[in-house]
Amino acid sequence: MSRKILVLDTTLRDGEQVPGAKLNLHEKIELAHQLKALNVDIIEAGFAASSQGDFNSIKEIASQIGNGSIMITALARAVKSDIDAVYQSIKMAQNPLIHIVLGTSEVHVNKKFNKTMEEVMEMGVDAVKYAKTLMPYVQYSTEDASRSEFEYLWKTIEAVVKAGATMINIPDTVGYAVPEEFGELIGKLNYRLKNLNDKVILSVHCHNDTGLATANTLAAIKNGADKIECTINGLGERAGNAALEEVVMAMKLRSAYYDAHTDINTKEICRTSRLVSNLTGLDIQVNKAITGDNAFAHSSGIHQDGLLKDRAVYEVIAPEDVGVEKMDIILTARSGRHAFRNAAEKLGYRYQSETDFEALFNQFLELADAKKEVYDYDVYYLLQRHNSSRADGGHGSAGAELDLYELVSFQVISNDIFPTATIKLKKGKETFKHSAVGDGPIDALYTAIKDITGLDVDLKEYKISSMSRGKEALGRVSIRICHDEKIYTARAMDTDVIKASALALINGLNAIILEKVN
Ligand code: KIV
Ligand code: ZN
């Protein structure tokens, strides 16, 4: 019988370690809901001891999403205070799991901890024993396992299993492993572990420093690993982690070879990938396996001819299997509520109330007026925008109570003498108007906005990308601004990229104001 491989998603922990990918509470909850729809077995929701914000979001995810069979975990170093923080943040989940990490390689033991091998092993054993007094399920990660001396690695595993660890995770922390060698390592560990205690789950966690994370993960599965740790779009430290969508689809495609399967609902892959890209502002490379824009696009005449004769000639994965669907109804401003509601529900709109739907429908009408034809990817991004404004209370109406800035109107003139911008903003009951010149239209626009708010921010990064296709595509502007030595990331979308630019800066400035209030 085909083996079931457990999938732990660590987009919210390892993935969130990517600079600029920090998500707020509402974004993390939205992603956790989507990971549940994707049917991952375990969500690693964060690193509880790292900040109060991370602790709160793990707690919220454990309460809101941690029901049913899904496990919720969070990371702890092998110290009591970290383990306590994990316990407090996940205890309300129905199936909580404490995840402890401690290095086993010489460089970690000697250089990072400045301890002896025995002392570090004892720290790990004590940590597991303590965690077991709090919860039945404990995962132990032997950090930098692929560069560790084998017998010491095994002795550590043996000791922590005897102390009560129920999952052993073998990380290739720095992406040093190669598939044949890593597969062999997992095979040897699996053999010894099954003899020691066949209830303990053997897991792997691979990094992509030389582009081998997917290959190493698959080699581990072939050699007996029961669980894999991945992220959506391969996000993660440095070059990232094994991409969930790649490992899962390779296993599905070659299920006879691996004689193993996951329970991932693959039809949710594309939606999850787009959500992660949209929330983090990190684009997916066009030729990315499984989820890139070109992953199912065939351009050469020979290929198109072959496909028309039989899709199997050049297609091994059906786009529908990962949720890439063809839009059969193209919406226009004349499409009624019924057609729009159908399209929105198909893309995951969760109905809240008639008022909520009407607000969304009005946004659709505005977009349809601007674009003439609205495709599924437009509806998708409309939903994203709507969900985030719903999650933060809608900066439109709640902005007044919270004293946040709102865009009323703007005019930007681009020329090579005096690029000029005039802007009108509202804050509570007050309105402000101001004009400024700049080195270019965006500089003029940003100077005018900054002058009104009086906030001294430094623009570190400004990026425009097209979020859908066609000449009236939705443009997404992502910015990074620095204020009081802290970096804030903000985004906005609109068919008018100048307006999206203004909204992105206003969102960033509002984030600074909100942080000061809280
Ligand atoms: O890469 C790593 O070693 C980790 C561990 C915490 C599993 O992320
Ligand atoms: Zn990692």
pLDDT of residue 285: 87
How remote is the CA of residue 133 from the centroid of ligand 2, in Å? 26
The helix (H) or strand (E) run that includes residue 407 is strand 405-413
Find the 207 Cα to ligand 2 centroid distance in Å.
6
Q: Kindly identify the ligand whose nearest atom is closest to the C-alpha of 46.
A: 1
By DSSP bridging, strand 420-427 and strand 71-77 are unpaired
Domain 405-517 fold is: Double Stranded RNA Binding Domain (3.30.160)
Written as one string, the DSSP assignment of 20-84 is T----HHHHHHHHHHHHHTT-SEEE---TTT-HHHHHHHHHHHHHH--TT-EEEEEEESSHHHHH
pLDDT at 394: 40
CA distance 484 to 486: 5
The CA radius of gyration of the chain, in Å to the nearest whole number, is 25
- Sheet of 458-466: strands edge to edge? 458-466, 475-483, 486-494
| CA 241 to ligand 1 center in whole angstroms | 10
What is the domain partition of the chain in residue ranges? 3-280, 297-388, 405-517
Q: Is any ligand 1 atom within 6 A of the Cβ of residue 172?
A: no
100 ligand 1 Cβ < 6 A = no
* Residue in 207, 227, 231 to alter for ligand 1 test, most ligand atoms within 8 A of Cβ: 207
Q: Which of 12, 82, 237, 32 is nearest to 144 (CA)?
A: 237
CA of 206 to the centre of ligand 1 (A): 8
* Substitution candidate for ligand 1 out of 9, 10, 13, 14 with most atoms within 8 A of CB: 14
Of all protein residues, the one whose alpha carbon is nearest to atom 3 of ligand 1 is 173
* CA of 73, nearest ligand number: 1
The pLDDT value given to residue 317: 93
List all residues 6 or more positions away from 433 whose beta carbon is below 8 Å from its beta carbon. Answer: 422, 423, 424
Look at domain 3-280 and name its CATH class. alpha beta
The C-alpha atoms of residue 295 and residue 308 are separated, in whole angstroms, by: 18
Give alpha helix (H) positions in 392-496.
399-402, 441-453
With a 6 Å cutoff on the Cβ, whether 141 touches ligand 1 is yes
Q: Which long-range contacts (CB under 8 A, 24 or more apart) does 289-295 make?
A: 289/214, 289/243, 289/245, 289/246, 289/249, 290/243, 290/245, 290/246, 290/249, 290/317, 290/322, 291/233, 291/245, 291/322, 295/324
Decide: 277 in ligand 1 pocket, CB within 6 A: no
User: What is the best residue among 104, 205, 238 to mutate for testing ligand 1's pocket, by most ligand atoms within 8 Å of CB?
Assistant: 205
Determine the pLDDT at residue 304: 61
180-184 long-range contacts, CB within 8 A, separation 24+? 180/219, 182/146, 182/206, 182/216, 182/219, 182/220, 183/216, 183/219, 183/220, 183/222, 183/223, 184/223
Per the structure block, which two tokens stand in for 489?
């990331």
Distance between CA atoms of residues 316 and 312, nearest Å = 6
Q: Are 7 and 262 in contact (CB under 8 A)?
A: yes
Which three-class secondary structure state does DSSP give residue 230?
Answer: strand
**Cα-to-centroid distance, 237 and ligand 2 (Å):** 7
The answer to whether the CB of 34 is under 6 A from ligand 1 is: no
The two tokens of residue 287 are: 């030729």
Does residue 76's CB lie within 6 angstroms of at least one atom of ligand 1?
Answer: no
- Report whether 241 belongs to an annotated binding site: yes
The answer to whether the CB of 227 is under 6 A from ligand 1 is: no
User: From the CB of 108, is ligand 1 less than 6 Å away?
Assistant: no
Q: Are 46 and 267 in contact (CB under 8 A)?
A: no
Q: Given the CA of residue 241, which atom of ligand 1 is nearest to it?
A: 1
For residue 145, which ligand has an atom nearest its CA?
1
Instruction: Report how far apart, in Å, the C-alpha atoms of 86 and of each of 246, 330, 376 are.
Output: 30, 47, 40
Strand segments, DSSP code E, in 78-118 are 96-103
Under 8 Å between Cβ of 92 and 63: yes
Is 193 within 8 Å of 159 (Cβ atoms)?
no
Which residues touch 20 (CB under 8 Å, ≥6 apart)? Answer: 280, 281, 282, 461, 480, 487, 489
Spatial separation of the C-alpha atoms in residues 381 and 275, rounded to whole Å: 9
Average pLDDT per block of 10 residues along the chain, 518 residues long: 96 90 89 97 98 96 97 98 98 98 95 93 98 98 98 98 98 98 98 98 98 98 98 96 98 98 97 89 88 76 68 85 70 82 76 85 85 70 70 42 82 94 93 96 96 93 77 77 84 87 90 72
How much is the pTM?
A: 0.77
Q: Is the shortest distance between the CB of 494 and ligand 1 below 6 Å?
A: no
Q: Which atom of ligand 1 is nearest to the CA of 207?
A: 1
- Which atom, in ligand 1's list, is nearest to the CA of 174? 1
What is the DSSP secondary structure assignment for residue 283, as one 8-state letter? P
What is the whole-number distance in angstroms between the Cα of residue 15 and the centre of ligand 1?
11
